[in-house]
Amino acid sequence: DQQVKQNSPSLSVQEGRISILNCDYTNSMFDYFLWYKKYPAEGPTFLISISSIKDKNEDGRFTVFLNKSAKHLSLHIVPSQPGDSAVYFCGLNFGNEKLTFGTGTRLTIIP
């Protein structure tokens, strides 16, 4: 039973426009939510996080939104740049134990 889902395997966005990546989860016990970015043949790199007591966190071009009632997490990147092309994973934590990851979304920024 997959607790974390990223339903879009891929997404293409024009450079300069907004990229929106989505993540849905089933377990309401998750209390800390993270986004990671991964380039081929490298490990995931931490991007941004949010705790369950907030509904928005912003860091430069990256904003994460959390809708607890809908069990939905999203990452907004604006403006999108060619270097943002990568695979993005949401990772969810419960009680500071371990992260459970989604299957990832491959983002391609079109120049």
Taking the C-alpha atoms of residue 58 and residue 64, their distance in angstroms, rounded to an integer, is 6
Q: How far is the CB of 46 from another protein (least distance, A)?
A: 6
The DSSP annotation for 31-84 comes to: -EEEEEEE-TTS--EEEEEEETT-SEEEETTEEEEEETTTTEEEEEESS--GGG
Closest C-alpha among 105, 88, 100 to residue 29: 100
Taking the C-alpha atoms of residue 22 and residue 32, their distance in angstroms, rounded to an integer, is 16
Residue 30 found at the interface with another protein (CB under 8 A): no
Nearer Cβ to another protein (81/100): 100
Q: How far is the CB of 92 from another protein (least distance, A)?
A: 11
Residue 21 found at the interface with another protein (CB under 8 A): no
Residue 10 found at the interface with another protein (CB under 8 A): no
Residue 100 found at the interface with another protein (CB under 8 A): yes
Provide the binding-site residues for another protein, judged by CB under 8 A. 4, 6, 9, 32, 34, 36, 41-46, 49, 89, 91, 93, 95-104
